[in-house]
Amino acid sequence: MKRNIKIKLSRIIKSFHRNGSSLKVLDGLDVEAAEGELVSIVGPSGCGKSTLFNIVSGLVVPDGGDIYLGGRKVDNCQGMVSYMQQKDLLLPWRTVLGNAVLGLEIAGVPKKDARREAERLLIEFGLEGFEKYYPSRLSGGMRQRAALVRTILTKKGLMLLDEPFGALDAMTRSAMQEWLLKAWREHGKTILFITHDVEEAIILSDRIYVLTPRPGRVRATFEVDLERPRTITETSFVKLKANLLGILREEDTTDYVQESYRAAV
Amino acid sequence: MFKRAIGRLYKDYLPPALLIVAFVGFWEVAVRLLSVPRYILPAPSRVASTILAKQSLLFGHTLVTLGEIGAGFMVALIVGVGLAVMLFHFSILERAIYPFIIASQTVPVFAIAPLLIVWFGYGIIPKVIMAAIIVFFPIVVNTVDGLRSADEDAVNLLRIMKANRLGILVKVRFPAALPFIFSGAKIGVAVSAIGAVIGEWVGSTKGLGYLMIHANAQLQIDLIFAAIFYLSVMAVGLFGLFSFIEWLSLPWRRV
């Protein structure tokens, strides 16, 4: 069954120029995600993962390449994606509820409706009773959950998550991954997920793109057909992880053949 | 809870209170022992009795000065914050105007006061302008810094949500700048009396500055001290009022 392609990035090229020298960050990157898919992008630091998201969200203009959203060619996806990063970016002067409704408020949704929706989702994410708290009084995991609620509520079909759990401790992180999977199942979003944590990518994703060091290109693609919930001790999980790590650790990537893998039970 | 509040009051206010008592006591004893004439330096007890005896006179003039400061402050706040927002959003404006704003601080307000009297007469307007000039600078500088202090990632988040410039200003930059604006306002309000009083010295018929000049001519030094006392109380009161407004307006900063 082939589903509709939600987002397709084709041959994306980007260089940054500073003090007369130029730095090629992305060199012909191809990434796509079907409607409702959770797709991870893994790569060494500095391979241009965040630049890729900035291009999709319209903060950075690419030098070349095309972006297709829902089959239509667009310049960028500004106003059509929701975005979350490692920093929770909760506004300190807004309560949890106030932060949760931010996206809806900007989209012009009536206050009452926005509040009602946010309250329901905050309960779903275990933040009941904390609606009137300022972010400074919450733990790291709760803050990130509040940020996730804001991201989901922004009501865009495509979510860009840039290492959203990178700053959390291992326990909290694993809990957050479960929250995310639950939200993903229930709200039917398409998710592009950046991480440098191979394990996290395997736990979450339908497909994993492994990028080369700068300039970023797709080194390998892994279709992950393992049943969820995935356990990190499963043989197929361990094999896939070893395979992924092996590719990430390659020193010399000047001459390679792009590979595709399929991991299944 | 109550006990702890008392304890904090103790810790915060006891040292300055003791210092004041010691200073006033020394002053009183010195004046009496050396028999300093009261047209040179009156004893604190004499100043105190003047403060009580001339209450209504002092209070009337205080209201005048307070009105000038209040009006000057509001003008400076509105113009200052407005200008800071403009400077922040239009860098060409910032490059053009900012040097002049800083340079304006090197002009002593004393030098402008007589000009303002010539232009606007003996009424309240020159004093309001004087107070505004003094308050204006810390407010503009602090507001610009505050707008700049906003988290650029949060600004980008709003851009991705397709918020316009006004939305970003209202939802991110201005709230981020608020604590800075309050710092500027508190500095401004503490020194604003300087402007108003200088304005009154140069030419007026009302206000604490007028009262001081008047008393000086008649060697009523105790009345000058009484006026200074009222000025100080007013400045401390205004500062306290602003700290309170700040506390009310920034609930997220309360622990």
> B30 and B63: one domain?
no
- pLDDT above 90: residue B50: yes
> B98 and B159: one domain?
yes
Segments forming the whole domain that contains residue B25: 1-35
Mutate to test the interface with A, among B149, B152, B156, B157 (most CBs of A within 10 A): B157
> B64 and B116: one domain?
yes
- pLDDT above 60: residue B191: yes
AA letter at A119? E
Digit-coded pLDDT (tens) for B109-164: 888 899 999 999 888 999 999 999 999 999 999 999 999 999 999 999 999 999 99
> B149 and B88: one domain?
yes
ipTM tops the 0.90 cut: no
- Residue A61 sits at the chain B interface (C-beta within 8 Å): no
Look at chain B and report how many structural domains it folds into. Answer: 2
> B27 and B49: one domain?
no
Digit-coded pLDDT (tens) for A77-135: 888 899 999 899 999 999 999 999 999 999 999 999 999 999 999 998 889 999 999 99
pLDDT value at position B106?
Answer: 85
Residue partners of B57: CB distance under 8 A and separation at least 6: B211
> B60 and B15: one domain?
no
State the alpha helices, DSSP H only, in B90-207.
Answer: 91-104, 109-120, 125-148, 152-160, 165-168, 174-202
- pLDDT above 90: residue A257: no
User: Looking at CA atoms only, how far is residue B205 from chain A in angstroms?
Assistant: 47
For A222, half-sphere exposure in the C-beta direction (CA atoms, 13 angstrom radius) is 29
> B4 and B66: one domain?
no
Distance CA A239, CA A235 (A): 6
> B57 and B30: one domain?
no
- Residue A136 sits at the chain B interface (C-beta within 8 Å): yes
Nearest to B65 by CA among B73, B55, B54, B76: B73
> B62 and B29: one domain?
no
Instruction: Give the nearest partner residue to B162 out of A79, A92, A136, using CB atoms.
Output: A79
**Phi then psi dihedrals of residue A264, to 5 deg:** -145, 165
User: What's the mean pLDDT in A210-238?
Assistant: 89
- Residue A53 sits at the chain B interface (C-beta within 8 Å): no
pLDDT value at position A1?
Answer: 45
pLDDT value at position B4?
Answer: 76
> B81 and B150: one domain?
yes
Residue found by looking up tokens 């004046």 in the block: B31
Distance CA B14, CA A174 (A): 53
Domain with B99 in it: what CATH number? Answer: 1.10.3720.10
> B103 and B11: one domain?
no
pLDDT value at position A44?
Answer: 83
**Phi then psi dihedrals of residue A2, to 5 deg:** -100, 120
Distance CA B104, CA B100 (A): 6
Mutate to test the interface with B, among A84, A93, A102, A156 (most CBs of B within 10 A): A93
pLDDT confidence bin for B244, thresholds 50/70/90:
very high
User: What's the mean pLDDT in A35-43?
Assistant: 93
> B9 and B46: one domain?
no
Residue found by looking up tokens 């909290």 in the block: A172
User: What's the mean pLDDT in B223-244?
Assistant: 93
What domains, with CATH codes, occur in chain A?
5-80+157-264 (3.40.50.300), 90-155 (no CATH)
For A260, half-sphere exposure in the C-beta direction (CA atoms, 13 angstrom radius) is 2
Computed over every residue of chain A, the mean pLDDT equals: 89
- Residue B175 sits at the chain A interface (C-beta within 8 Å): yes
